[in-house]
Amino acid sequence: MAIQSARIRLLDEAPPREKADFVLYLMQQSMRADFNPALELAVEEANRLGLPVLVCFGLLDGANGFPEANARHYAFLLQGLVDAAAGLRKRGIAFHLRRATPAEVAIDLSAKAALLVLDRGYLAIQRRWYDTIVQDARCRIVQVEGDVVVPLETASPKHEYAARTLRPKLHKLWDAYLEPLKPRRVDHPAPELTVRGGLDVSDPDKLLAELTLDTAVGPVRRFRGGTSEARKRLDRFLAEGFGGYGAGRNKPEAGAASHMSPYLHFGQISPVEIALAIRASKSGDRDDRSAYLEELIVRRELAMNHVFRTEGYDDYARAVPEWARKTLAEHADDPRPHLYTEKVLAEGGTHDHYWNVAMREMRETGYMHNQLRMYWGKKILEWSPSPEEGFARTLRLNNRYFLDGRDANSFTNVAWVYGLHDRPWQTRKIFGSVRYQSENSLRKFDAKAYERAVIQLCEAEQA
């Protein structure tokens, strides 16, 4: 199947360099060795030019480190890169990992490349890398958008108001993009191709130990990074958890969730691959399928639309809509019966037992079910001295402990707690007309069963 043209953008029109050693692919977002349109385009170009492909990755640590990333995130990232490197090697493609910014690696290696292929993420830091590369790498540059189902600008030319405004656009378009992507044959294999300054990618633990990182939040055993792991989990979910996803989605104790979010965040699995597997699955019914595709495509791509179209998406004043900021400001002086510091929140030391249990799941295992994330976020708003402070600390906790943190989904969903993509509701204290969530929502599922599951998961982390 051809790579859809709407996924491809030419960022530098220079012709391919005539004397070149390879076609270079900077694999910084779609971290996988197949079902990756940027990689397949690099292979097609390399075959056409009679060259091998070199894949590179810039690893940041210390003062240069990726904002808010800690040892938990890096462990998962490195496990994924080792898995991707093995997959690439099998296909006859070399992988070069270097301690430098992605832009530095790409610019340096592009001097020997016929052309440079980039993949695409939407966060501000990623966009700054692309700008630097386009400015300083003197060669043909092609960008391929492979971590969304519908390419972002094809889906919508503007900031979408809510899921209901983006949904019909995506529904109209998504069939054209839900197609399998076969790995192309590599005509000029060179898995041993080496360039100076590369790190050994055989052992993720050794690599992790060599980096300067915030180790206060450590790796988790619950999730191992990599495409192979992602696929195993997806298969298990389709066999055991998918039937009933539509109805069970609001029940965190029922296990009706795919746990794909860390793998999607690190680009270790393609959303198109997941969507095709969901469509083809023999388990689950129509409701399960449409509920899952709503989350995976509509909600996830709405989040990307928001961060791409909002300068300052991590800033309360710019990310939260005006009506919501106004009503929250009007209620900023309302008495707050419970006020907690960020430290007490992080430790799960509040008066709310099940909130503390959810916080424990997040802190110790790096994940929380969507239903509880909503409750968790709304309570931080209620228990913080001001909406601005509540927003900032929710984002900090979210990005520190969740493996899927620092994602477009992180920034967008935290802003949702404060009214983004929502509408005004009945007015009440502290929240004004921003949607409130009461303790009663915990009665809709078996909270005791959820607590037992969290205790087991946390014990497994310690074992």
Binding site for ligand FAD (CB under 6 A): 257-261, 264-265, 295-296, 299-300, 303, 369-370, 373-374, 377, 398, 402, 404-405, 407, 409-410, 413-414, 417
- Report, in Å, the least distance between residue 313 CB and ligand FAD: 13
- Give the torsion sign (CA, 150, 46, 127, 414): positive
- Nearer to ligand FAD by C-beta: 92 or 348? 348
**Residue keyed to tokens 């900032």:** 392
Q: How many CB atoms lie within 10 A of CB 223?
A: 22
Q: Quote the least distance from Cβ 359 to ligand FAD, whole Å.
A: 12
Least Cβ distance, residue 364 to ligand FAD (angstroms): 17
Whole-angstrom distance, CA of residue 332 vs CA of residue 462:
41
* Tokens 């007015």, residue located: 427
- Residue 26 or 257 having the CB closest to ligand FAD: 257
The DSSP string of 404-423 is T-SSHHHHHHHHHHTTTT--
Closest CA to 288 of 331, 241, 354, 322: 241
Provide the minimum distance between the beta carbon of 400 and ligand FAD in the complex, in angstroms, as a whole number.
10
Closer residue to ligand FAD (CB): 25 or 292: 292
Least distance (Å) between residue 407 CB and ligand FAD: 4
Going by C-alpha positions, the residue among 350, 317, 330, 342 that lies closest to residue 434 is: 330
Dihedral sign (CA 126, 132, 134, 137): negative
Helix (H/G/I), strand (E/B), else coil: 59? strand
Q: How far is the CB of 403 from ligand FAD (least distance, A)?
A: 9
Q: What are the beta bridge partners of residue 24?
A: 54, 116
Residue number with CB closer to ligand FAD (88 or 417): 417
Closest distance to ligand FAD from the beta carbon of 303 (Å): 5
Q: Please report where in the chains the tokens 């969730």 appear, as a residue.
A: 257
Q: Of 109 and 408, which has the nearer Cβ to ligand FAD?
A: 408
| 46 residue type, one letter | A
| Nearest one of 46, 176, 60 to 116, comparing CA atoms | 46
CA atoms within 13 A on the CB side of 395: 24
Nearer to ligand FAD among residue 327 and residue 398 (C-beta): 398
CB nearer ligand FAD, residue 68 or residue 187: 68
